[in-house]
Amino acid sequence: MNEINDRREAFRRVFETPEVAIIYSYQKVNNLPHFVSLHNISKNGAFIKSSLRIDPSSRFKLVARNVDNQWDTFNCSIAWEETIQRSGNYSMGLEFSPTDNKPLQPVQAEEDIQIDTMDLEFLLNNRLLKVLPSKGICPFLNSLIPRNLSPGVQFITQDEEGESLFIIQKGLCTIKIEKDGEMVPVAQRREGSVVGEMALLTKEPRTANVISESNMKLWELNRSDFDRLVDEYPDLMEFLTELLTNRLENSTIIAVRNVGRYLITHQLGQGGWSIVYKGKHKALNMPVAIKMLKHNIAINEEFLDRFRQEGRTIAQMNHKNIVRIYDIEEIYRTIFIVMECLEGETLEALLKRKGALPFDRALSFLIQICSGLAYAHNKGIVHRDIKPGNIFIMPDDHIKILDFGLACTHGKEDFSMPGTVHYMAPEQIHGHSVDGRTDIYSLGILAYEMFTGENPYANTDVKTLLDMHFNHDIPDPSLLIPDLPEPVRAFILKACRKSLDDRYNSMQAVIKELLPVIQPLDSNNEKPVERNKQITVLLISHFEDQELALKQLLDEFGSRASELGLDLNITGKSDI
């Protein structure tokens, strides 16, 4: 916040991020007060933007926070007004009456509901509303409908189609499900909680009943109003991600934690594009990792169309050094990618803990990554985000490449899904078409980091980073590791050339370059220990109408067995 002199020589507070203020119209706009964004204020007047129009001839009250974090009230009239054509909002200059600075008496509204500064404080501090972009806060707040409930009111009914969610400001409610003709309590919700949020994510019937246990004050948001707001402010999709995350992690109702055939148990972590959960296949009890794309990513229709097409190819990849994708589910207005669940740590975590890796271990990791990428490139898939955080190390040092769920096919231009700046090739930064050589560039930087313990482009200033990618060759790793074998040094330097044509033309060419150091490493490895094979017989009995479901189950079981290196023989069926 800055203070400057306005043309009337009065100090004017200018807000870097607009404050939220309340307008109380004497004419009661829509029978309710409404919220506006306050951009600057002085003793003479203020500049606001409003999603609702105010009659230019009217007088009204503005309630705004002062420098002491208290609320002041001003009598206002409109000095000037301008319609913002692109957004349909209104910019207004307000003129204050010099005599009024009294405490506000809240305006009475329908159903004996009052809206005051305490309500605004509650809403702005609610966890869900904290994710809203600043330009969408007031339109969102103006779409909320206040409700007062007495004890014993059922305001959500199981099996009915949901049309709205409710944010609880005051009071207590109980969530009950109907089971064997009885209402069984399963949870309670208090101040700050949200109920009925799945209505904004799906049109499926309600999964429970919700009944007030005390006097309650709620804020209702209709799905139709939210859909309208999202069209105007796409950033509001972050709100849906927060809603869904809250439900998947905290709900005591198992049904709402289902994602197709999978059940989410808890969150493993999240990044800029996605949130990863631990889960399990409900029928096989098989552990899985479930990656949920954030809604502001999933709203991109161009991305979704390409992802659906390319996702089929990605899901068919089956290589020992690539994390296996089992399934792709579209539900709750986003996409879930179901993958094998891994035990171990990322290369990023290892490098932070250990620094430079022993040569043999770093080379082993490099060769495994090359193997996985060679397989993907032969399938026409470019990873686009090779970095330490996407390389997973199993307990036996077996490598798995992660995040192929956000890859693309050869020759595709980058469609709003850039990689990580420290590892991005120049053509990727420019948004030009990419191919396997783009991954080779990132792999060269990754190799430099494994062998030296340092990132060659470690500057945190993005502008400087981009300049280094465009105009500066990667440092010679032998300056830090003088005894680094020449084939490894040559690979790093050539892989990171600025021009696509100056790099290796394929991952097979990379492996050929590294052969002189790979072969001695292989010869030092011990021969595998002989193991005795055993046979396990599984007998499944089923009815004829279960044939299709059984086939799907066996297909999944067969894929998992193949990954584990098991020989599977399924015999024919017989009647019993």
Domain boundaries, the chain: 2-116, 126-247, 347-524
Distance CA 362, CA 53 (A): 64
182 phi/psi in degrees, rounded to 5: -120, 155
284-336 pLDDT tens trace = 889 999 988 888 777 777 777 766 766 677 778 889 999 988 888 888 888 88
Residue type, 31: N
Proportion of the chain above pLDDT 90, given as a percent: 39
Statement: residue 47 has pLDDT above 70: yes
Domain 126-247 coded CATH 2.60.120.10: yes
Check whether domain 2-116 has CATH 3.40.50.10380, yes or no? no
Nearest to 500 by CA among 448, 439, 409, 443: 439
pLDDT at 240 over 60: yes
- Under 8 Å between Cβ of 265 and 278: yes
CATH architecture for segment(s) 347-524: Orthogonal Bundle (1.10)
Model pLDDT, residue 20: 94
Task: Name the band, by pLDDT with cuts 50, 70 and 90, for residue 416.
Answer: very low
Tell me the average pLDDT of the chain.
83
455 CB-near residues (< 8 Å, 6+ apart) = 422, 445, 448, 449
Summarised one tens digit per residue, pLDDT across range 244-276 is 887 787 766 666 688 889 999 888 888 777 888
Using DSSP bridges, classify how beta strands 71-84 and 59-65 pair: parallel, antiparallel or unpaired: antiparallel
Q: For residue 210, give the nearest of 220, 202, 225, 223 by alpha carbon.
A: 220
Bridge-based pairing state of the strands 287-293 and 325-331: unpaired
Active-site residue numbers?
A: 385
Confidence of residue 279 (pLDDT cuts 50, 70, 90): very high
